[in-house]
Amino acid sequence: MLSSSSYKVLAVDDDPQSLMMLRQILKNEPLQLDLASSGPEALEAVKKETPDLILLDIMMPGMDGLEVCRQLKANETTRYVPVIFLTALRNAEEMVKGFEAGAVDYITKPFNKLELKARVKNHLDLKRSSDIISKQNLQLKQEIDQRKQTEEKFQALSQAAFEAVLFIKNDLIIEVNDASLQVFMHDPEQLIDMPVSLLVPVEGIHSLHDILQSDSFGPWELEFIRQDESRFYGQVKHQRFVYRNEQINVLAISDVTRLKELEQEVRNAIVETEERERKRFAMDVHDGLGALLSTLKIYVGLLQKANKTQEEKLFLFEEIKTNIGEAVAAAKRIANNLMPSTLNDYGLLPALEVFSQSVMRSGAVTIHLTGNREMERLGKNTEINVYRICTELINNTLKHAEASNIYLELKVSRQKLELGYQDDGKGFDFLESLAKNPGSHGLKNIMTRIQFLNGRILPFKNAGKGSTFRLEIPLN
């Protein structure tokens, strides 16, 4: 018996009796039998629906079975459909012609029921097996192509990556990208088949194995060793990946040594800035408020003496009132330097206006401040850091530039704040000055605040003499 699947069989014969006999013999088989009485009719039928098997009479008027079979085999859609010839001839030469035309078997007339069923079943099962194999081969080819494309894509991405990419199997490096050669200073031949544990110091081997066994992507920080035995800190990301049909570990390693150094420099600059602010605060208290309080103490002591006349006491009272007023003003001035009340209450531009007016009262310089007075308040950290950057720039000009005018402009949009600063003094290059004077507290303070705000110094051209500085700070 045929399998339970329903097959489509096309019987082609110009003899109606033969077609009826075929229908009768195969009526209880699990197949759909369609009939055609000529070659052209058969070719039209297969265009509409491709059968699983064709029973084809050789001797037909007009287009015989051999020609029909040749056209079926010449068509990409029907070339793999098995054809069994039906013939009343037992001529070996005709049989050979049939096989040459593409037939897979033949059945002689009159039909033997058992033989007909057996041959139809056999070739339908063969067709089914062939279809399954073809489908599996196609799926396998697609999987191979997909894996190949994925592998090629991954290789291309790894080569384009800036970080080192190591392919690791059983602790051995089996593939590397170009960047890894620059990071570790090894030739390809040296890295391939090298145990990956040799790229880390002994104390880091356990951590490396934990990373390779982890299901997490990371990142981690780990110390590595270059070929010249110098060490660097790497940020490590990990992923398991099927590469050349094998499960491997992939490590992406970025050299973050300079980043860690910069972070340390920022931390040092913050500590230095805080310490400098403490010293300045202590000096302000000692030289200003401290002196006034000491004077007050002396006056109060004099008042306590019994030999003072009424006139002397009134004089001391007036001096005490004057010193208390000056002490209050000094305390306000110190507090304003620590955190300007105008900045807290009204925002960045008004605070800079108050500071500018205070500077201009000395007559040393004229400050031209422009900006959108209707701009919305920025974040507290942004306002105080931009305020401190501006005051440091102004103080730097006052100390070193011998300028007559300062031009300060603020532009604020939803995405960013732009700060433009220029004076007409003798001029200096900000970055060059920072490089030449790394110990300069003012310049380091500015750079620390810029890094804190994720800002960037924009390129600029000096229109004439003086110093120019442009800064962009993201607000989102």
CATH superfamily of 161-255: PAS domain (3.30.450.20)
340-476, which class in CATH?
Answer: alpha beta
CA distance 205 to 57: 78
Residue with tokens 């040749």: 70
Residue with tokens 């305390």: 331
Q: pTM for the whole thing?
A: 0.39
| Residue 311 pLDDT > 70 | yes
Query: Rounded to an integer, what is the distance from CA 275 to the centroid of its chain?
Result: 39
- Higher-pLDDT residue of 323 and 281 is 323
Enclosing H/E stretch for 221:
strand 220-225
CA distance 133 to 9: 21
24-82: pLDDT as tens digits: 999 888 889 999 999 999 999 999 999 999 999 988 998 999 999 999 999 988 988 99
CATH superfamily of 7-136: Response regulator (3.40.50.2300)
For the residues of 232-294, what is the DSSP string, one character each?
EEEEEEEEEEEETTEEEEEEEEEE-HHHHHHHHHHHHHHHHHHHHHHHHHHHHIIIIIIHHHH
Q: Which residues contact 297 (CB under 8 A, 6 or more apart)?
A: none
| Residue 4 pLDDT > 50 | no
- Token pair belonging to 27: 């009526």
CA distance 125 to 119: 10
The closest of 210, 232, 179, 15 to 111, measured between CA atoms, is: 15
DSSP state of 375: P
DSSP state of 458: P
- Higher-pLDDT residue of 249 and 150 is 249
Which of 170-184, 269-283, 314-328 ranks highest by mean pLDDT? Answer: 170-184
pLDDT of residue 181: 78
SS3 percent helix, strand, coil of the chain, rounded to 5, is: 55, 20, 25
CA distance 219 to 235: 6
- Token pair belonging to 293: 């309080």
CA distance 242 to 255: 26
Given pLDDT bands bounded at 50, 70 and 90, which one contains residue 401?
confident
